[in-house]
Amino acid sequence: MSEIDNRRIWCAGVEYDGSAYRGWQTQQPGVPTIQERLSEAIAFVANHPVDVVCAGRTDAEVHALGQVVHFHGTADRDPRAWLLGSNSRLPDDINLRWVLPAPSDFHARYAARSRSYRYVIWNRQARTALGRHRAAWIYHRLDAAAMHRAAQHLLGEHDFSAFRAVACQSRTPFRNVEFIQVQRQGDLLWMDIRANAFLHHMVRNIAGVLIAIGKGEADEDWPLRLLELRDRTQGGVTAPAGGLYFHGVRYPDYPDIDALSRPGDEPMLPGAPLL
């Protein structure tokens, strides 16, 4: 049997602090990316080159708690060996959470039925030292209830042209938002959003619109008008990358993977129970 025939698909959950990286996708030599670091670490354990495929690419300085990847390996390793061996070769700001053997037809991107993101804001007059790279800092007091009500206009399938980056390469601007919620606890405010897929900068652009509403600079119907205008130039500012987290993926056709691919509410910052 050839080496190709011996290949097995493995999937893994990944968390990372994206502050020091130029995003997920491998670029030219010398540019640090998450994909490059993961591929190198897993390839060391596999003892052969490895191509790591993710559920959803993230931009420069964006983080992940529940990223999911898959890779092919011919090495005779069990999940624990893949997990501990890879983590021993990864920098401190990237970590595998779990590893599982996957069915032969599993694909981290194409098998995903929905993806979720969380956008986190420190909302107080004084900036934060500990959270400076892992949350956006807004010193104006935000009205979380108004932001939540405004966000409900985005539920369902819409043309999100007003919320996509100019450089977005998606063939269609239509996306289906299944869930969106804005909450506050103390000085922390966060937005959770789940959709079948996302356009480039879509979550950060939504966050920027909702922040303006939270400040009282725009009314709660502004998201609805933007959907109707389909014009990015009318859509306000893009929220900073440091507040954004790839939070989880849903794989209903693969129950064992699905059970691990949606991390619970876990603390990542002091006093922040829901990052």
Closest by alpha carbon to 250, among 47, 111, 45? Answer: 111
Q: Which of 66, 74, 70 is nearest to 53 (CA)?
A: 70
DSSP state of 109: T
16 annotated as ligand-binding? no
Q: Active site residue: 17, 51, 59, 192, which one? A: 59
Phi, psi of 45 (to 5 degrees): -70, -40
Catalytic annotation present for 93 = no
C-alpha angle 141-144-145 in degrees, rounded to nearest 5 = 130
- The backbone torsions φ and ψ at residue 134, rounded to the nearest 5 degrees and listed phi first, read -125, 10
Q: Cα(26)–Cα(31) distance, rounded to whole angstroms?
A: 8
Q: Residues forming the annotated binding site?
A: 117
Please give the positions annotated as active site: 59
Q: Residues forming the annotated binding site for substrate?
A: 117
